[in-house]
């Protein structure tokens, strides 16, 4: 007999409560979660730190904005929905550092923790929530640049590489009237100094400088004393401080955790009891009760961490520190290997560049040598051609030299002849000069003689006129006498007249004497005109003058003596 087992159908599951979307923003990420209405703050916190891999959870908390717009820390032991979280969809929650370490180099173990603190402190400095002097701000900015961009490289980090980065508080930019390039130059100087520094070490260096700032890690609350004067209450890792309303940097009264016996509040009144029972209690007042609750929660958390630091590290912390040291050593080894490989690569690249450069130089040198060889060949050909031309020119020059030598010899001979001729000419010139002087003298003498001859010619002219007159008179007398003779001949014909044509008579004679003619022989004494002219010419020739008397005119011609 087979027994049948009847299984009843499963009961329907109760409906799941509607989930609530939550958006959590860390300093470097944004996370989305879906939580139940019953989810507590601790459950959400654990889910967040697990997601981001954070183990140093005691520094952090969840911050939200309440319905009245105030920033408040989420209570981890209560449900998220039970708190005064602003009902947005999704709910907006910030994961932030709630408590600050006394010494970041010793207490911040994980790199993730260091990074979250670095980003949060940097944001507080840039927003001027933490006052930072300009010089320190520039140094911190250089570390921030190193965290983001690593070592400074001149070929990569060119001018303007920080133009889009917000690295300095607005107050510093307004306080010093420098342009972006000038600020960049100042930050770059420090950035160059951080060469070889690991990025995580640069974050720690940033925090080590920032933790010395007066407002670092301090939560400020607006309070009033018994007299109603407004003051600031500061809660930090070392204790409580009271500040003047106008000065958040220099505390007027300080209460270290080691000197506080008890803190409490009653409504808006807050009470601080020192360990010294003789010292008076310090009382102040806040505007709302919830502010006292926040103050008390911060005081308790900071005091717990203060006491924890002064105790031996827990096994968990020791393990984290050991793991952090191992990771750091591993990173350093990796960094050393990376640097070694980087240097090897750089050396190889440099060697490659060097080889390439040398190859280029050799190629260039080869090209230059080829060009020089070609130029040398061209020059050799040119020199050969020039040598042939020079040889021709030399031959021509030799011929020309021979010709010139001949010409030179001829010129020398001509020169000698010319010298001789010149000497002769000089002598001739001297002789001519002498002759010229003589001739000049003779000319002068002749001119004087000419004047005399002119005068003598004038006298002779006068004499010639007189002679001519005498001649005319003589002619008249002769004519008269001849006429008388003729008359006598015609009265007494000649007795011995003969015929001129008769050739038979060989002799003849005639008697021409008369008594009157014998007594009168003046015609014999007469000087003929021709005779006178002849004598005159002889006299003129004797004196260097030649005369001619054509007809009855006396002509005088000057004939110089040679």
Annotated binding-site positions? 75-78, 293
Find, among 404, 392, 349, the residue nearest to 155 by Cα. Answer: 349
Q: Residue 505 has what DSSP assignment? A: -
Ramachandran quadrant class, 544 (left: phi over 0; alpha: psi -120 to 50; beta: rest): left
Collapsing DSSP states into helix, strand and coil, what is residue 84?
coil
Largest CA distance in the chain: 259
Distances (CA, A) of 338 to 149, 168, 193, 195, 324: 17, 32, 20, 15, 20
Measured CA to CA, the distance from residue 271 to residue 259 in angstroms comes to 14
Contact 143, 167 (CB under 8 A): no
Kindly compute the dihedral angle of the four CA atoms of residues 232, 237, 240, 241, in this order, to the nearest 10 degrees: -50
Contact 184, 163 (CB under 8 A): yes
Beta strands in 311-388 (DSSP E): none
Find, among 249, 258, 252, 286, the residue nearest to 271 by Cα. Answer: 286
Ramachandran quadrant class, 18 (left: phi over 0; alpha: psi -120 to 50; beta: rest): beta
Q: State phi, psi for 65 to the nearest 5 degrees.
A: -105, 125
For the four alpha carbons of 203, 206, 211 and 214, in that order, the dihedral sign comes to negative
The answer to whether the bond into 411 is cis (omega within 30° of 0) is: no
* 261 CB-near residues (< 8 Å, 6+ apart): 273, 274, 275
Judged on CB neighbours under 10 Å (0-12, 13-18, 19+), 38 is exposed
Q: Within 13 Å, how many C-alpha atoms sit on residue 422's CB side?
A: 6
Chain centroid offset of residue 375 CA: 35
Q: Within 13 Å, how many C-alpha atoms sit on residue 270's CB side?
A: 23
395's enclosing H/E stretch is helix 315-491
* 477 CB-near residues (< 8 Å, 6+ apart): 522
Residues counted in the chain: 562
For the four alpha carbons of 104, 107, 111 and 113, in that order, the dihedral sign comes to negative
Collapsing DSSP states into helix, strand and coil, what is residue 266?
strand
Task: Spell out a b/e string for 97-109, using b for 16 or more CB atoms within 10 Å of the CB, else e.
Answer: bbbbbeebeebbb
């Amino acid at each position: 007999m087979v027994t049948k087992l009847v299984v009843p159908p499963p009961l329907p599951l109760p409906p799941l409560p509607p989930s609530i979307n939550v958006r959590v923003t860390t300093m470097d990420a944004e996370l989305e979660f879906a939580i139940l209405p019953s989810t507590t703050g601790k459950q959400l916190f654990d889910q967040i730190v697990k997601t981001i891999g954070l183990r140093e959870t005691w520094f952090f908390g969840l911050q939200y904005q309440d319905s009245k717009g105030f920033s408040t820390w989420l209570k981890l032991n209560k449900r998220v929905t039970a708190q005064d979280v602003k009902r947005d969809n999704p709910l907006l929650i910030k994961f932030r550092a709630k408590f600050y370490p006394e010494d970041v180099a010793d207490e911040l173990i994980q790199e993730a923790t260091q990074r979250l603190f670095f980003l949060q402190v940097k944001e507080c400095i840039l927003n001027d929530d933490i006052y930072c002097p300009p010089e320190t701000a520039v140094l911190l900015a250089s570390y921030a640049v190193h965290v983001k961009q690593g070592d400074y490289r001149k070929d990569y980090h060119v001018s303007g590489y920080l133009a889009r980065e917000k690295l300095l508080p607005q107050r510093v930019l307004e306080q010093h009237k420098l342009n972006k390039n000038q600020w960049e130059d100042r930050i770059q100087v420090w950035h160059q100094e951080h060469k070889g520094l690991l990025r995580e070490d640069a974050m720690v260096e940033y925090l080590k400088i920032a933790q010395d700032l007066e407002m670092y890690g301090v939560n400020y609350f607006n309070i009033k004393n018994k007299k109603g004067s407004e003051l600031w209450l500061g809660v930090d890792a070392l204790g409580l401080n009271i500040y003047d309303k106008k000065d958040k940097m220099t505390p007027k009264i300080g209460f270290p955790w080691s000197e506080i016996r008890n803190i409490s509040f009653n409504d808006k009144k807050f009470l601080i009891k020192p360990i010294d029972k003789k010292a008076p209690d310090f009382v102040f007042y806040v505007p709302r009760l919830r502010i006292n609750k926040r103050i008390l929660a911060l005081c308790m958390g900071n005091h717990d961490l203060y006491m924890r630091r002064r105790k031996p590290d827990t096994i968990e912390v020791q393990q984290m520190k050991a793991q952090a040291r191992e990771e750091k050593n591993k990173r350093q080894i990796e960094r050393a290997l990376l640097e070694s490989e980087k240097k090897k690569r750089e050396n190889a690249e440099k060697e490659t560049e060097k080889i390439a450069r040398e190859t280029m130089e050799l190629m260039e040198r080869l090209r230059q040598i080829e060009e020089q060889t070609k130029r040398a060949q061209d020059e050799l050909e040119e020199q050969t051609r020039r040598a042939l031309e020079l040889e021709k020119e030399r031959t021509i020059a030799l011929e020309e030299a021979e010709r010139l030598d001949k010409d030179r010899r001829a010129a020398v001979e001509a020169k000698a002849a010319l010298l001789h001729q010149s000497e002769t000419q000089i002598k001739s010139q001297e002789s001519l000069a002498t002759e010229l002087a003589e001739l000049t003298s003779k000319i002068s003498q002749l001119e004087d003689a000419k004047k005399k001859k002119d005068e003598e010619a004038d006298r002779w002219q006068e004499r010639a006129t007189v002679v001519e007159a005498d001649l005319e008179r003589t002619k008249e007398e002769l004519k008269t006498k001849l006429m008388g003779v003729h008359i006598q001949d015609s009265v007494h014909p000649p007795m011995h007249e003969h015929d001129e044509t008769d050739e038979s008579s060989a002799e003849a004679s005639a008697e021409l004497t008369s008594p009157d003619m014998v007594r009168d022989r003046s015609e014999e004494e007469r000087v003929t005109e021709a005779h006178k002219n002849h004598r005159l010419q002889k006299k003129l020739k004797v004196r260097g003058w030649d005369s001619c008397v054509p007809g009855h005119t006396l002509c005088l011609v000057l004939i110089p003596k040679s």
